[in-house]
Structure 1
């Protein structure tokens, strides 16, 4: 089954590890066979990995893009997912984590990445700390 990709001018994407950039006009690219493909918006740089969910997303992305380094990336994924599951109490988020792990075990990395993105909103909501919003932040004097 072919994959049709509509690209914006100057949009970057990665196919099987090769970074490509669209020209100065909109373009359509059709992939006729299976390939590891990520758009620029789905690519995370190492310096962006600064939250628990991003620590899970990043090694999945690397497994998807670099099969040769699978073992190291998988070990990182297992460590970070275990840590994440240790702190998440929300049943829906926990179920999503299990589904992500299932996809990774079945080498369905793109599916796992998409599910992981759903956790970004949950994480943002949970980590959205506003000074003065917690009881220990208020001055009791």
Structure 2
């Protein structure tokens, strides 16, 4: 099955560890199994500044850097406990359970989707805390 992706001018994509930047609008047809992340799915280490974002980063690295998988697994396991304690709503609990299942079966790309859900929930919770703090001040 062929994977087709379109890249905007200057958009980055990582394919099997190689960073590729498009020059002009580019359409790619990927005809074999590869690890691939588009630019908007790539997180820099400095952006991993909350528990859910750190979980995303280390899951992304487990996907892109299989040579250091044991190190990434240790990081993921350490973070998952903290993120799961913060996930008090049904959506958060479901995302943690789905993430754990996918990460355990090395389906890191789909696990990143669960991380995005957890990052949205975390962002909303932090925004709520900031709003309460503002009102109290």
TM-score tier, shorter chain, comes to over 0.9
Moved over 6 A (4+): none
Structure 2 CA distance, aligned partners of 1:114 and 1:96?
9
Q: How does 1:95-134 map to 2 (within 5 A)?
A: 95-128=94-127, 129-130=130-131, 131-133=133-135
Instruction: Please say if 1:13 is aligned against 2:13.
Output: yes
Structure 2 CA distance, aligned partners of 1:45 and 1:111?
19
User: 3-state DSSP class of the match of 1:132?
Assistant: helix
User: 3-state DSSP class of the match of 1:35?
Assistant: coil
Cα displacement (A) at 1:99: 0.4
Cα displacement (A) at 1:12: 0.7
- For 1:69, the equivalent position in structure 2 comes to 68
User: 3-state DSSP class of the match of 2:134?
Assistant: coil
Question: Mean alpha-carbon deviation: is it higher for 59-68 or for 89-98?
Answer: 89-98
- For 1:56, the equivalent position in structure 2 comes to 55
Cα displacement (A) at 1:132: 2.8
Structure 2 CA distance, aligned partners of 1:114 and 1:39?
13
Structure 2 CA distance, aligned partners of 1:105 and 1:87?
20
Structure 1 CA distance, aligned partners of 2:105 and 2:72?
15
Which has a greater percent of helix? 2
Cα displacement (A) at 1:115: 1.7
Matched positions, count: 134
RMSD between aligned residues: 1.1
TM-score (norm 1): 0.90
